[in-house]
Amino acid sequence: METLLFERTGEIRRTKDELEQKLGVKITVVGRKVTIEGDALEEYEASIILDAISFGFSAKKALALKEEDMIFRKIPIRNFTRRKDLREVKSRIIGSEGKTKKTVETIAGCQLVIQQNSVGVIGSSEAVDAAETAIVNIIKGSKQANAYQYLERMNQSRKTHEEGLGLKEKKRNENG
């Protein structure tokens, strides 16, 4: 049995039955205190998913964390800037009409939620690493276009690694 404290429990309360069914645990919500009962591994998995929901992700997006290669990471904005007022930094991450946020999500292939002083990212481990680097660069003052170019390069290198090293193709061409 694991007990966690969350700032926001509204989404957890609304989707409690669905979460219990999909996670295979018993969830009890009393005020801000959330208790999870079940198998140790299921409790751990559920705590990560509930943390993502509490951060601001929908239950549907957070349940993607059940997949093996998916992770959730929080990026604290204050760790990468000296500015006292984070409004301007957050507005750089969001972009005009949310364009920067949408573009990072699309290119990196992950989901973003921006809170008071941190950014939450859900995606595959490679996508989250690339998105984190891009977001940190934007926080530090880099142009959004440079962050997009970085993400595009990461996508290209990921595609070449998925295809392998290309050694078999090279040999076939030399012999043929």
Q: Report the CATH number that the domain containing residue 16 is assigned in CATH.
A: 3.30.1370.10
**pLDDT reported for residue 116:** 85
User: Within 10 Å of residue 117's Cβ, how many Cβ atoms?
Assistant: 12
Between 63-72, 146-155, 157-166, the lowest mean confidence (pLDDT) is in 157-166
Same domain, 87 and 102: yes
Residue that is written with structure tokens 């990026």 in the block: 75
3-state secondary structure of 65: helix
Same domain (yes/no): 57, 81: no
Do 150 and 86 lie in one domain? The reply is yes
Give the number of domains in the chain: 2
Domain that holds residue 156: 70-162
For residues 15 and 32, state if they share a domain: yes
pLDDT greater at residue 3 or residue 76 = 76
Place 171 in a pLDDT band, splitting at 50, 70 and 90. very low
- The answer to whether 77 and 117 have CB atoms below 8 angstroms apart is yes
Which among 50, 66, 82 is the end of a domain?
A: 66
Does residue 172 sit within a domain?
no
Q: Residue 104: phi, psi to the nearest 5?
A: -65, -45
Say whether both 74 and 158 belong to one domain.
Answer: yes
DSSP H stretches of helix in 7-112: 10-14, 16-23, 40-55, 59-62, 87-94, 99-108
Stretch 143-156: mean pLDDT: 89
Residues 132 and 59 in one domain: no
Q: Which of 3-12, 104-113, 162-171 has the highest mean pLDDT?
A: 104-113
Same domain, 39 and 119: no
Does residue 58 lie within any of the structural domains?
yes
Could you tell me the CA-to-CA distances from 53 to 62, 89, 127 in Å, in that order?
6, 24, 20
Mean per-residue pLDDT of the chain:
87
- What distances in angstroms separate CA 25 from CA 65, 100, 149, one per listed residue? 15, 37, 42
